[in-house]
Amino acid sequence: MNVIRRLYGYLTRYKSWAVLAFGSMIIFAASQTVMIALIRPVIDDVLAPPTTQQVVRDHPSREQATKQRIVEVLLNRDQPEGQRGWLVNRYDTAAKSLDHWWNADRASKWRKILAILLVLFLIRAFASFFSEYAFQKVGLSTVRDLRNQLYERLISQSHRFFAERSTGEMVSRIVSDADAIQAAVSTRMGDLFQESITLVGLILFVFISNPELALISLVVAPVLVFPVVHFGVRLRGTTHRSQERMADMATLLEETIRGVRIVKAFTMERFEIGRFREATRRHLASNLKAQKIQALTSPVMELISALCAIALLSYAHHRTAAGTLTIGQFLSFLFALGAMYAPIKKLNKVNLSLNTALSAAERVFRMLDVENEVAERPNAVDITGVGSGIRYERVSFAYNDEPVLREVNVTIAPGEIVALVGGSGAGKSTFVNLLPRFYDVNSGRITIDGRDVRDVTLRSLRGLMGFVTQEVVLFNDTVKNNIAYGRADVEHERVIAAATAANAHEFIMAMPNGYDTVIGESGVLVSGGQRQRIAIARALFKDPPILVLDEATSALDTESERLVQQALDSLMRGRTTLVIAHRLSTIRNADKILVLDQGEIAEVGTHEELLAGRGVYRKLYDLQFLEEERSLGAMA
């Protein structure tokens, strides 16, 4: 119920369109009921022989007599004529006028019926258009809002959120689950209201036209309702499993496509094909269970309906033979019951679809409800510069239970270049990820210009920083739009200046369309060194006072590294810089080197000071020097 209430909250934003849709549905249902009601006069008053019509008028059925008596009681006709109320007089006047207008000759009545039918068809056409379009507007807009909110929620989450969830799961929530909700809200929800209104109108008609037959039909109604409820409950569970299998398949597909080079390098194509086939097998099994339930629903309901129809025909034959039921009355009643079948069948599909959508909505809302552990405080203020510098004060952090940083104390002066070195898992990346609040510290604090980073706005905090990492992230867009990321209105000269400083202008101009060349997904159409220089140009264009370099040259060949290092030298000039170094030879000129060992600052100093100290740094340096010597010897 909570899921339905939350979905309703999105629907209420489009009340005017919903009112238009609902009103059109009422008109559509009313016109359909009136058209069925016209069947009786067409048969009994126009098509039947005049002698039959006279017999019917002279011998009214039991239903007609009962209805006439009900009207007299409601209108209080038993009172003397002078004491009758205004309602009785108005009813009598209206009834006489209607009888005079309707009880004309056969030809006149036929023309009137045709005119009414024409008007009804026109009304139905307009009502059908407005009801469908208005509800599509409500449904599509609602799901768009939900999808936008989910994307905004995801993009604002901390790094921990993304580390704990697969890409396929998140894509599945935004795409597949939102599509399931959209199908239910924009299409099935419209059917729910329209068919429900139509069904209510038809039920009222059959009770008014023939109460006895209606009561008999009502006895078997629970037999028709039970399969709808039963199959709906079962389908909800199977569709939930099907969507989970879809998320697994999306995750596997995303991993394989991203790592296709590794797959091919290790000749693991057959292995990955086997994994994908197993995932599609599980998805197929879940889908087939859902389809089995859907396929059973219609035959079961049709069989029950057929048995009920046979019983009804037998009863009608008895009444018709006794002369207490006219052909027109029965056909009108029969058409009304037949018209009920389509709404009931559609409502059954609506029930199945809504159960699927509710299952999808539960997963979407569950992801929407995940708390963002890196939330911005209500009284957060903007920060505009490095000011007095950066300080790590007794900073500790753990991803789970195992500490990654322990009681770290570091002071970084404005404009200082600080390098971070250490073995794998020493905490280098965690150290820099805490500064822009990709994660929040467990204890201690980090300050910039004396302000705790948790007390400033995330936009202004991260606006101070530029990042160049080993894994370059570029977008399937032009070179210019990648450099001037998010700034479509920027001057072209600024882009060229940033690219020139990053040693990228020359190879960019050699591309087919220069700065307007589309570089493909993740920059696949350019080399690794070129991607890195475009990323440096992007950082230069942003012109941040704080720079973070995370092993920016570790994956490059010698020539590309030389060009990238020149670009980095331009980028670091005059900025407060944190460098995670893979090759120790690239940080000789750092103002300060922090040596991390098991989450603690083991050593601090310049390159020469640390070499002379013969501590952890010297061991790392000697180990790397020996590896380079062996590599050169092997090449020789």
Question: Is 333 or 437 the better-scoring residue by pLDDT?
Answer: 437
- Nearest Cα residue to 344 out of 310, 300, 291: 300
CA gap 519, 114 in Å, rounded:
67
Which carries the bigger pLDDT value, residue 66 or residue 318? 318
* pLDDT value at 93 more than 70: no
Query: Does residue 202 contact residue 340 with C-beta atoms inside 8 Å?
Result: yes
Asked whether the predicted pLDDT for residue 435 surpasses 60, the reply is yes
Angstrom distance (rounded) from CA 249 to CA 245: 6
**The tokens of 37 are what?**
């009601």
CATH of 2-368, one of 3.90.228.20, 2.60.40.420, 1.20.1560.10, 3.40.50.2300: 1.20.1560.10
Per-residue pLDDT, 53 = 47
- Per the model's pLDDT, the better-predicted residue between 174 and 393 turns out to be 393
Task: Give the other-Cβ count within 10 Å of 467's Cβ.
Answer: 20
Q: For residue 446, what pLDDT band results from cuts at 50, 70 and 90?
A: very high
486-495: long-range contacts (C-beta < 8 A, 24 or more apart)? 490/541, 494/541, 495/537, 495/541
Span 319-345, average pLDDT: 72
**What whole-number distance in Å separates Cα of residue 505 and Cα of residue 609?**
38
Burial class (CB in 10 A: 0-12, 13-18, 19+), 281: exposed
The pLDDT assigned to 445 comes to: 93
Contacts for 490-496: CB closer than 8 Å, 24+ residues apart: 490/541, 494/541, 495/537, 495/541
Residue 610 has pLDDT above 80, yes or no: yes
Q: Go through the chain and tell me how many residues it has.
A: 636
pLDDT at 632 over 50: no
Mean pLDDT, residues 53-66:
49
Whether the pLDDT of residue 304 is over 80: the answer is no
**pLDDT at residue 397 in the model:** 92
Alpha helices in 373-418 (DSSP H): none
Nearest residue to 569 via CA among 594, 584, 592, 552 = 552
pLDDT (tens digit per residue) in 516-559: 888 887 777 888 788 888 888 888 888 889 988 887 665 566 66
Q: How far is CA 482 from the centre of its chain?
A: 27
Check: CB of residue 473 under 8 Å from CB of residue 538: no
Q: What is the pLDDT of residue 164?
A: 78
From 82-91, 93-102, 529-538, 622-631, the region with the lowest mean pLDDT: 82-91
Given this model, what pLDDT does residue 395 score?
A: 92
At residue 447 the predicted structure's pLDDT band, cuts being 50, 70 and 90, is very high
* Both structure tokens of 520: 């493909």
Whose structure tokens read 């995940």? 370
Topology agreement, domain 383-464+547-558+573-636 and domain 468-543: yes
Q: How confident is the model at residue 634 (pLDDT cuts 50, 70, 90)?
A: very low
Share of the chain above pLDDT 70, in %: 77
Summarize the confidence of residues 581-606 as an average pLDDT: 83
Average pLDDT over residues 361-374: 84
Q: How far apart are the first and last CA of the chain?
A: 73
- At the second CATH level, the architecture of 468-543 is 3-Layer(aba) Sandwich (3.40)
Q: pLDDT of 143-181, one tens digit each? A: 888 888 888 888 888 878 887 777 777 887 888 788 878
Helices of type H across 502-550:
505-509, 528-542
Sheet containing 546-550: order of strands: 465-469, 546-550, 576-580, 417-421, 592-597, 600-605
Q: Give, for 577, the enclosing helix (H) or strand (E).
A: strand 576-580
Using left for φ > 0, alpha for ψ between -120 and 50, and beta otherwise, residue 323 falls in: left
For residue 1, name the pLDDT band (cuts at 50, 70, 90): low
pLDDT of residue 498: 86
Does residue 222 or residue 480 have the better pLDDT? Answer: 480
Over range 304-315, report the average pLDDT.
72
Lowest mean per-residue pLDDT among 223-227, 298-302, 472-476: 223-227
Pairwise CA distance, residues 432 & 38, whole Å = 79
Report the mean per-residue pLDDT for the chain: 77
> Tell me, what's the pLDDT at 58?
46
Residue 78 reports pLDDT greater than 60: no
Q: What is the pLDDT of residues 122-140, one digit of tens each?
A: 988 888 888 888 888 888 8
Instruction: Give the C-alpha separation, 352 to 232, whole Å.
Output: 5
- Closest to 176 measured CA to CA, from 143, 199, 212: 143
Question: Could you identify the residue written with the tokens 């939330």?
Answer: 375
What is the C-alpha to C-alpha distance for residues 150 and 175, in angstroms, rounded to an integer? 11
Judged against a pLDDT cut of 60, whether residue 355 lies above it is answered with yes
Which carries the bigger pLDDT value, residue 463 or residue 81?
A: 463
Q: pLDDT by residue (tens digit) across 233-283?
A: 676 667 667 767 777 777 777 777 777 767 766 677 788 888 888 888 888
Per-residue three-class SS string for 414-468: CCCEEEEECCCCCCHHHHHHCCCCCCCCCEEEEEECCEEHHHECHHHHHHCEEEE
28, 128 Cβ separation under 8 angstroms: yes
Domain limits, the chain: 2-368, 383-464+547-558+573-636, 468-543
**Residues ≥6 apart with Cβ < 8 Å to 344:** 195, 199, 224, 228, 301
3-class secondary-structure state, position 526: coil
Distance of CA 10 to the CA centre of its chain: 13
Which residue bears the tokens 């005079």?
100
DSSP track, 578-597: EEE-SSGGGGTT-SEEEEEE
Q: Hey, CA dihedral for 504, 510, 515, 520, is it positive or negative?
A: negative
Q: Is the pLDDT of residue 230 over 70?
A: no
What architecture (CATH level 2) is domain 383-464+547-558+573-636?
Answer: 3-Layer(aba) Sandwich (3.40)
pLDDT score of 452: 92
Which candidate, 546, 591, 606, places its Cα nearest to that of 571? Answer: 546
Mean pLDDT of 17-30: 84
